[in-house]
Chains A and B, each alone.
Chain A
Amino acid sequence: MIPLTWYLILSGILFTIGVIGVLIRRNAIVIFMCIELMLNAVNLSFITFSRQLDSMDGQIFVFFIMTVAAAEAVVGLAIIVALFKNKATVDVDEVNLMKW
């Protein structure tokens, strides 16, 4: 069996890729995908700890995280569509209406 530490390392790699992606890309859709990637990384570590501790709570939590991720994806993509209708771009630098 694969040591559980490697699952956590993979989770860390995925989370880091997500963070870097959010920081260096200006395309709203790509930023959104990176957020999904971070949520998935957290899910993986939840399942790993659940397996390690012989507990079901982690799996229940992952279930709820997936629910929230689905809701977040729906609303976020709706926002992106509305944004594109208004500004005809998905570049987040162009969206500075609320900038002081």
Chain B
Amino acid sequence: MIALAVLYVLLHAQFIAAIQIMVYAGAIMVLFIFVIMLLNLSKRDEEAGEGKLFLQKPSAIILGIVLFVMIGVVTLKSVLQGTKGEYTPENINSIGNTQLVGKLLFTDYVFPFEIASILLFVAILGAIVLTKKGVLGKSE
């Protein structure tokens, strides 16, 4: 995840790189580690699912390789072209990447921005409701 942030810096997307480190390394990974700690899994759980997938495993690997080959062929064969926008790296660096992202977020993309805030709010509420005591276990 941090390596991806480095790649974003190389692609002149410094703001996204900072967000990547904050959201993924800072928030999501900590959340994962907390849940793994809370669940307190044993070795038995780890091996429980083995042996049931005797047909799915090799076919999944073969299909995965096929998928990768298809992606690779399409990527290598196609020529990257299209209508160039106005934001060349020199242009972006003269204004500032973060300032430009902020300007676009509050002008052209203000409606998706508000939707995203509502989505985050609903996610908070959903997480609280789901982890409350006895929400899913009422029937038993």
Contact = CB atoms under 8 A, between A and B. Distances in A.
Interface of A: 2, 4-5, 7-10, 12-13, 15-16, 19-20, 23-27, 29, 32-33, 36, 40, 43-44, 47-57, 59-60, 62-64, 66-75, 77-86, 89-94
B66 to A, nearest CB: 9
7 contacts: A12-B75, A16-B65, A56-B100, A59-B13, A80-B35, A82-B136, A90-B39
Given A16-B67, A67-B119, A78-B126, A47 B131 contact: no
Given A29-B32, A90-B41, A74 B123 contact: yes
Contacts of A43: 4, 16, 20
B105 A63 contact: yes
Given A64-B109, A81-B131, 19 more contacts: A5-B75, A16-B65, A20-B64, A24-B56, A24-B61, A44-B4, A44-B8, A55-B87, A56-B92, A56-B104, A60-B101, A66-B19, A70-B28, A71-B120, A74-B124, A74-B126, A78-B126, A78-B127, A90-B41
The 7 closest A-B pairs by CB, nearest first: A26-B49, A55-B85, A71-B123, A23-B60, A12-B71, A20-B64, A78-B130
